[in-house]
Structure 1
Amino acid sequence: MSVVVYFSHDGETLLDGKHQQVSFGNTEVVAKTIARLVDGELVKLMPKPVYPVDYQATLARAKQEMKASQFPEIMPVTHDLKADEVIYLGYPIWWGTLPAVIKTFIRQTDLKGKTVYPFCTHEGSGFGRSIQELQQLLPDSDIQKGLAVRGSRVTCAQCAVNNWLGQKV
C-alpha cells in the first residue's frame, strides 16, 4: 500500500516571478495527481500555527525556523502509516531545502524500512539540498529518485508525473 504525504502552502505564492493568490498550493496540485494515479490516500501536513497567507512573511518564518533548527508543531496525522510500504513525500523547496514541517513529520514518524519517493515544487532550484537532507534524516529508508516540478508549471505537470510514476506503478 502507498500513501501521499505532503506539505503545501496555501495563500500567496510566487509564480513566474509574481506574487499570486492561490486557494491551494503548488505541491498540493502535484500530490493530488499522484494520489489519484497510485490510488493512495492523501495526508496533508498542517503546521500549528499555520504559516501566514503572505508569501514574504511565510518565507521569513521558514528562514527563521531553518536558521534556528526549529521544528514547528504539526497537527496530528490520523492516517496509520504502519501498513504503507511506499511513501510519496511532497514539499515546496524553501531556502534551498525541506520546509521545517517535513522535518517535524520525519522526526515524529517511524519510516524505517519504508520506500520514499520524494517530490517537490520549486521556482528554479530543483530539489536543492533536500534529497541529501532526506538521506541524512532517513538513513533506514530507501530514498528513490524523485520528481521536481516548477511551481509555475504544476497545472501542466501531468505528463511529468505519469513518466515518473511509470517507473514504479
Structure 2
Amino acid sequence: MSVIVYFSHQGETLLEGRHQQVSFGNTEVVAKTIAKKLNYDLVKLIPEEPYAVDYQTTLSRAKIELRDKSLPRISLIKHDFQTDDEIFLGYPIWWGTLPMVMRSFLKQVDLSEKKLYPFCTHEGSGFGRSLQDLGKLLPETEIQKGLAIRGSRVTCAQCAIDNWLCQKA
C-alpha cells in the first residue's frame, strides 16, 4: 500500500515575489492532485500550534524552529504506516529545507526499508538541501527521485506531475 503525507501552509504565501492569499497551500494542491491520480490516502500534518496566516510571521517562526532545532508538536495521525511500502512526502521549502513540522513527523514514524517519493513546492530554490537532510534523517529509507514545483505554478503542473509519476512506475 501507499500513502501521501504532506504539510502545507495556507493563508498568505509568496507567489512570484508577491504576498497573496490562498485557500489551500501550494503543497496541498500538489498532494491532492497526486492522490486523485493514484487513488492513495492523504495524511495532512497539522501542527498543534497553527502557523500564522501572515507569511512573514510564519517564516520568522520557521527560522527560529530551524535554528533551535525545535520540533513542533503535530496532531495525532490516524494511519498505520507499517502496511505501506511507499510514502509520498510533500512539503514547502522554508529556509532552504523541509519545515520542522515534517521533521516532527519523521521522528515519530519508522520509514525504514520503505520507498520515499519526496515532492516540494518552492519559489525558486528547488529542493534546496531538503533531499540531503532527508537522507540524514532516514538512512534506512530508499529515497526516490523527487518532484520540485514552483508554488506559483502548482495549478498548471499537471504535466510535470504526470511525467514524475510515470517515471515511478
Q: Give the structure-1-normalised TM-score.
A: 0.99
1:63-103 deviation digits (Å, cap 9, x = unpaired)? 00000000000001111111110000000000000100000
Moved over 3 A (4+): none
In the alignment, the residues of structure 2 paired with residue 40 and residue 91 of structure 1 have an alpha-carbon distance, to the nearest angstrom, of 17
Specify the alignment match of 2:118 in structure 1.
118
- 2:137 match: 137
Partner of 1:6: 6
Name the residue aligned to 1:161. Answer: 161
* RMSD (CA atoms): 0.6
Q: Is the 8 A contact 1:7 1:101 kept in 2?
A: yes
- Residues 2 and 38, structure 1, Cα contact 8 Å, conserved in 2: no
**Percent identity of paired positions between Structure 1 and Structure 2:** 66
Shift of 1:36: 1.2
Question: How far, CA to CA, are the matches of 2:139 and 2:24 in structure 1?
Answer: 32
Structure 2 unaligned residues grouped into runs of 5+:
none
Query: d(CA) in 2 for partners of 1:130 and 1:27?
Result: 15
Quick one: which amino acid aligns to residue 16 of structure 2? D
Aligned partners of 1:118, 1:3: CA distance in 2, in Å?
Answer: 12
User: Secondary structure at 1:35's aligned position in 2?
Assistant: helix
Gaps of 5+ in 1: none
The offset of 1:27, in angstroms, is 0.2
Post-superposition offset of 1:37: 1.4
Letter matched to residue 4 of structure 1: I
Q: More deviation in 31-40 or 96-105?
A: 31-40
Partner in structure 2 of residue 74 of structure 1: 74
- Deviations for 1:22-75, whole angstroms, at most 9, x for unmatched residues? 111000000001111121101000011010000000000000000000000000
Q: TM-score normalised to the size of structure 2?
A: 0.99
